[in-house]
Amino acid sequence: MFRYHVRLLRLALLLADGLAAVGLFVLVSIVRLGAGWTASWEAAGAPWWTWAFAYAVIWVGAEWLQELDQLRSRWTLRGEVTDILRATLFASVSVFSLLFLVHAPEVSRLFLAILFSAQLVFSIAQRGLLRWGLVLARNRNIGTRNLLVLGTGAAARDVAMRLARHPALGYRITGYLGQPSAFCPTVLAPIEDVEVVMHDTVVDEVLAAFETDELDYVEPVAALCHQEGKRMRLVLLPHVAPISGGRVETLGEFQILTISNGPDRLIGLAAKRVMDVLLASLALVVLSPVLLVLAAAIWLEDRGPVLFRQTRVGLNGRPFKIVKFRTMVPDAEARLAEVAEGNEIAGPAFKIGDDPRITRIGRILRRTSMDELPQFWNALRGQMSIVGPRPPIPGEVAEYDLWHRRRLSMKPGITGLWQVSARLEAEFDRWVELDLTYIDRWSIWLDLKIMARTIPAMLSGR
C-alpha cells in the first residue's frame, strides 16, 4: 500500500532523474557542439533549455513506464539494467518519432545517438553505485532486514537463497517454518506457530512459499502481517492464487506478490534517518552545556548515577538500552512493587502521578521533559528516531493485544503524536490509536509539525 508520502518521494526521485537528464543534455551539447552550442540549438528552432526540458520529460516518462521510479530496489542489477535498456529504447524511439512529426531536420541524429548512449551508461552506473553503497551499508549491518520464510519446499529454499546471495537487498534469513523436508531439514516451528515465532523473534518481513497442502495459511498469514504492520511476500507458484493488493515482482523464474503493510522502508525512512542524524547531532552539540549542568545537579542531589538505562523494545521487536537522565532514587526499580497498585493507566503500561520514588531534581526534569534529552544519543545510533511511537518495555509488549503490536512497525521516537496530543490520557488503547494514526499518516511534514508542537508542550509542562 503506497501512501501519500511515498508518492511524494517517488515524485522527488523522478524530479532528480529529470534534473540529471538536463545536466547530461548540456554536457553532451558542449562536448559535441563546442563553444557555440547554445547558438546551435537556437538555430534548430528553440532555446537550448526548451530542448533539454523536452528531453528530460521524455526520459522521465520512459522511466515511469518501466517502473524505475519504484522505491523498492530491483531484486538484481541484471533486472534493473534490462529495464534501463527498455527505457532507453522507448525514449529514443519517442524522440526520433517526435522530430519526424514536427519536421526538425536541424537536430543532429549523431548528437542524439551520443546522448542516449551516455544516458544508458550514466543510468546503469548510477544504479550500480547505489547498489555498491547498499552492500557497504549491509556489511556494516545498516538497514538489514530479518526475513522469516514460511514453507519448506524447493521454492521456499530457492527464493530465500537467491535473496541471501544479493547483499544489496540486505536480507538475513531468520529461519523456516513448516514440516522438515529434504530441502529444509531444520525448521523453527510448524507454520501454525507463526504468530508465536513473530512475537518471540525479530521479524521485519515474511516470505511465504506454500505447497499445495498449505494454501489454507495464505489468508490468515496475510491478515496477521496486516495487523502487525509487516511486509509480506507471497511466491506465486502455479497452485497459489494471488490475494488482493500489492504488486508483482520477478526474481529469476519466480513471480512474487509484495504487500506493504506499513511505511515504505527504503527511501522514505532513509530520508527520516538522515533528518534524525542531522538533528540529533545538532541537539547534542548545542545542548551540551545544558546537559552538563543537569548532570551535575542530578549527581549533587544524592551522589547517585546521572544516567538511567533501561531495556526497551524498538523496531519490530529489537531490544535496545534507552538512555535518560535519572529522575528517581537509585533503587527505584527494586521498589516498583510498593507503588504498583497506584498505576493510573488502563492497559499494559505504568504511570503514577505522585510517585514517591521521584527525586526533587527529577520532578523538574519530568515536568519539563528534559530527562528525555540524552535520548538524542539513541537517535544518533539509529535505535530511536526524533519522532515516533513511545518505546515500550518488554513487559508491556508481552501483554499487548495483537492490534497493539503494529505500533512496533516503526522506530520509536523521543517525541510523538500522543506525547503532544494526549500525554495525560489514562487509556493505553488511546495511546496506541494515536501511534497507529501517526504510522498511517506518516510524512516528513508530519514529523516537523510534531517537533514544532513539542517545544511549547515542554515549556508549558504538558
Residue 371 near residue 325, CB atoms below 8 Å: yes
| H helices present in 209-263, as ranges | 218-228
C-alpha cell read off for 348: 499494559
Is the pTM here over 0.75, yes or no? no
Distance CA 181, CA 197 (A): 19
Burial class (CB in 10 A: 0-12, 13-18, 19+), 219: exposed
Per residue in 169-183, pLDDT tens? Answer: 788 899 999 999 988
pLDDT of residue 440: 87
Distance CA 26, CA 47 (A): 12
Burial class (CB in 10 A: 0-12, 13-18, 19+), 410: buried
Closest CA to 457 of 425, 423, 406: 423
pLDDT of residue 39: 86
C-alpha cell read off for 375: 535520548
Return the bridge partners of 206, or none.
148, 232
pLDDT of residue 251: 81
Per residue in 90-108, pLDDT tens? Answer: 999 888 888 777 666 667 7
Q: How far apart are the first and last CA of the chain?
A: 35
C-alpha cell read off for 329: 532514587
Per residue in 362-419, pLDDT tens? Answer: 888 888 889 999 999 999 999 999 999 999 999 899 999 999 999 999 999 999 888 8
pLDDT of residue 71: 47
Cα 198 to Cα 32, 153, 204, 343: the distances in Å are 59, 21, 9, 29
Provide DSSP, 166-205.
-GGG-EEEEEEESS--SS----SB-GGGHHHHHHHS--SE
pLDDT of residue 5: 38
- Could you state, in chain order, the average pLDDT of each consecutive group of 10 residues for the chain (462 residues)? 43 79 92 86 84 90 80 64 90 84 72 91 86 74 86 93 80 92 91 94 94 91 91 90 79 85 65 92 94 93 89 94 90 66 61 74 87 95 94 91 92 89 72 90 89 80 59
Distance CA 453, CA 308 (A): 26
Instruction: Tell me the three state secondary structure of residue 445.
Output: helix
Closest CA to 323 of 314, 311, 333: 311
C-alpha cell read off for 347: 492497559
Per residue in 149-168, pLDDT tens? Answer: 999 999 999 999 888 887 76
- Enter the DSSP assignment of 358: B
Query: What are the backbone dihedrals phi and psi of residue 414, each rounded to the nearest 5 degrees, phi first?
Result: -70, -40
Return the bridge partners of 191, or none.
none
Q: Grid cell 538524542 — which residue?
A: 376
Distance CA 400, CA 417 (A): 20
pLDDT of residue 2: 28
Residue 239 near residue 215, CB atoms below 8 Å: yes
